[in-house]
Amino acid sequence: MLRNAFYILFTLAIALSTGFGSAYYMVENGRQLTASKYGAWYGWPDSGGADTHPYRRAALARSGALQLGRAEGVVFTATKDDEGEELTSKCQYRIFGSTPDASAWTLRAVPVGNRSSADIERYLVSDKINRIEGGNFEIEVSPKIQPGNWLPTPSAQAFALKLSFYDTTAFLVLGNDEVRLPAIERGNCS
User: Residue 14: pLDDT above 70?
Assistant: yes
Rounded mean pLDDT, 29-40 = 70
Rounded mean pLDDT, 31-35 = 61
Q: Which of 168, 166, 185 is nearest to 96 (CA)?
A: 185
Task: Kindly state the DSSP code that residue 185 receives in the 8-state scheme.
Answer: E
Q: Which pTM was predicted?
A: 0.76
The residues facing 41 across adjacent strands are: 38
pLDDT at position 48: 61
Give me the residue spans of the domains in the chain: 1-34, 36-53+67-189
Rounded mean pLDDT, 4-20 = 80
Rounded mean pLDDT, 65-76 = 70
pLDDT at position 28: 58
User: Cβ neighbours of residue 53 under 8 Å, at least 6 residues apart?
Assistant: 31, 34, 44, 46
Q: Is 106 helix (H, G, I), strand (E, B) or coil?
A: strand
pLDDT at position 96: 96
pLDDT at position 155: 81
| CATH fold of 36-53+67-189 | Jelly Rolls (2.60.120)
Model confidence pLDDT, tens digit, residues 169-179: 766 654 556 77
Model confidence pLDDT, tens digit, residues 95-151: 999 988 888 999 999 988 766 555 667 889 999 999 988 889 999 999 999 999 999
**Residue 174 is which amino acid?**
L
Which pLDDT band, with edges at 50, 70 and 90, does 167 fall under? confident
Is 186 buried (19+), middle (13-18) or exposed (0-12) by CB count in 10 A? middle
Measured CA to CA, the distance from residue 184 to residue 105 in angstroms comes to: 17
